[in-house]
Amino acid sequence: MSLHSDIPFVTEKMDQNDGATRRLQVLSCSASGCDCTKDFPVNGRAKPEEAIYNMARKAGWSISKKAALCPTHSGKRRTQKEKVPMTYTPGPRQAVAERPAMPSTPELTPELRRAVFRAIDAHYDEAAQCYRGIITDQHIAAETGVATSDVAAIRQENFGPAENKLLAEIREKLTKAEQRRDQAAAMIVDGTNMLKQVNADILALTDLLTKG
């Protein structure tokens, strides 16, 4: 026996089974000619609309304001997906551009050794035991076309260190002292300008008092 329900697509009925009577809420498919239903047993109070629809959707039903469709008619019937083997077809192998060969330093021949020696001798201060000015092993290597390590070896063997540590420390201290001097000079200029402005303000105020 079906009973009226306020929930769309849902009716209520009393079901007798083994002499026991139970109350059911029954959701019916709206598709033409389909007699598919889903039962929801009622224990105490009837289930609300949202609870019934949510449970039905989890079971594969499709429910809207216009229809309630069972899994067969909603297209949501759960079937085992056919496993499609994944295949890989390698594409054409791309040509890898060859890296340009790094220019190699020439073999240190006797002629090159003499050229390096002359270049170092032209820029080396024997008394100070260091290069003059900003010259380094890299400069000599670029000038003669040999490896910097070869220049360093010839210099160390025939002349001495590339830089005098004591002179380097003095140059560093001199640079810092010059920076402090420049900062002090800038402060003096700012102070002088400020003093001139203050004196001008004092004169202007004094003039106002005198005229008043």
Q: What confidence tens digit (pLDDT) does each residue in 141-164 have?
A: 999 999 999 999 999 999 999 887
SS3 61: coil
Task: Note whether residue 193 is domain-resident.
Answer: no
Q: Are residues 70 and 123 in the same domain?
A: no
pTM over the 0.75 mark: no
Please state, rounded to an integer, the average pLDDT across all residues of the chain. Answer: 83
Q: Do 146 and 116 meet the contact criterion of CB atoms below 8 Å apart?
A: yes
Question: 142: domain range?
Answer: 110-158
Nearest to 21 by CA among 29, 12, 30: 12
Task: Note whether residue 205 is domain-resident.
Answer: no
Instruction: Supply the pLDDT for residue 167.
Output: 74
Task: Note whether residue 140 is domain-resident.
Answer: yes
Q: Do 10 and 26 meet the contact criterion of CB atoms below 8 Å apart?
A: yes
When pLDDT is cut at 50, 70 and 90, the band that residue 17 belongs to is confident
Beta bridge partners of 15: 22
Element (H, E) at 55: helix 49-58
- Rounded CA-CA distance 177/34 in Å is 99
- Among 25, 59, 74, where does a domain finish? 74
Q: Are residues 70 and 15 in the same domain?
A: yes
Task: Note whether residue 175 is domain-resident.
Answer: no
Angle between the N-to-C axes of helices 110-123 and 137-144, in degrees from 0 to 180, rounded to the nearest 10: 140
Span of 5-9, 26-30, 74-78, 112-116 with lowest mean pLDDT = 74-78
**CB count, 10 Å around CB of 116?**
24
SS3 133: coil
- Rounded CA-CA distance 3/30 in Å is 18
User: What are the C-alpha distances in Å from 75 to residues 9, 62, 192, 206?
Assistant: 19, 9, 90, 99
Residue 84 has pLDDT above 50, yes or no: no
Q: How many structural domains compose the chain?
A: 2
Task: Note whether residue 135 is domain-resident.
Answer: yes
Q: Which residues 6+ apart lie within 8 Å of 31 measured at CB?
A: 67, 69, 70, 72, 73
- Rounded CA-CA distance 163/128 in Å is 9
Task: Note whether residue 136 is domain-resident.
Answer: yes
Residue 98 has pLDDT above 80, yes or no: no
Q: In what order do the strands lie in the sheet with 2-3?
A: 2-3, 10-17, 20-28, 37-41
Residue 136 has pLDDT above 50, yes or no: yes
Span of 70-74, 118-122, 150-154 with lowest mean pLDDT = 70-74
